[in-house]
Every structure is written in structure tokens, then in C-alpha cells.
Amino acid sequence: MQKLLNDRRLLLPVVLTAVVIAIGSLLIVLLSDDASSGSPGAGSVSQVGAGGAVRIDITDFKFKPETVTVTAGAKVTWVNNDAAPHTATATARGAFDTGTLRKGDHKTLKLKTPGTYAYICQFHPFMKATVIVQ
């Protein structure tokens, strides 16, 4: 009987480890970008004309749309719809940074300098997107 109890005590850590690995794997699949599909998802690219403005939603740990093209001087607004805090921080040092956006917060920046700007969330670097300023 004692041997059976000892085996059960060993089984619990093994089962918990398996559950943690399964949940982690599921999160990786759910939060990974759609690059493996071979085509962009609906609404993943947005273009804005002169003097226009664009809204980028932060939802489900993704920037939506993932790529936007704006004319120089356009306003870009990031809106955090997630419970977790996020940022939109250009990977090019000093290009732009929204600072921390908590749920419901938004930040509007006027992007004046032409270029292609990759950006991430500093808290969740797997969140990636691009702003193209023409």
C-alpha cells in the first residue's frame, strides 16, 4: 500500500508538468502571427491618404491592422482593448513610443518622417507590426 501512495505522489508533478506544457503550447499557437498561412488575414493592411488618420487596435495580443501605410504627417492612434498593458514602441531607437497603455487607453502620434518602422510591445515582444510612412 505504501508503494502505491508513493507512486501517486510522483504522478502529480508529472501530470502538472504535462498540463503546463500543453497550455504553453496552446498559447504559442493561438498567439503566433498568421505568417504561416501564406496570406495576410482580413484587415491586416491599411492605407491612409494625406492628412488622414488611422486607428490601430490592440486586441488579443495583436496589433490590428498589422501593417499600415500613411502619408507623412498623418496621425496614428493605438487603442488598447486588452486587459494587459501594452506599448507600441518602434524598434528603431527614438522613432516613436506610445508609453504604457492600460485597458481602454489610447495614444495618438503624428508621424512626420518617411520610412518603414517596425514596432513591438515592450511587455510582449512577440507582438510585432509595421507602420510605413510615405
At 74-120, the pLDDT tens digits run 999 999 999 999 999 999 999 999 999 999 999 999 999 999 999 99
Domain 40-133, what architecture? Sandwich (2.60)
> Nearest CA to 51 among 34, 71, 66, 36?
71
DSSP string over 12-67 = HHHHHHHHHHHHHHHHHHHHS-GGGGSSPPTT-EEE--TT-EEEEEEETTEEESSE
Q: Position 89: which residue type?
A: T
Q: Whole-prediction pTM value?
A: 0.66
Share of the chain above pLDDT 70, in %: 62
Q: Which DSSP helix (H) or strand (E) runs through 7?
A: helix 2-31
Domain ranges of the chain: 2-31, 40-133
Quick one: average pLDDT of 43-72? Answer: 85
Distance (Å, rounded) from C-alpha 46 to C-alpha 67?
6
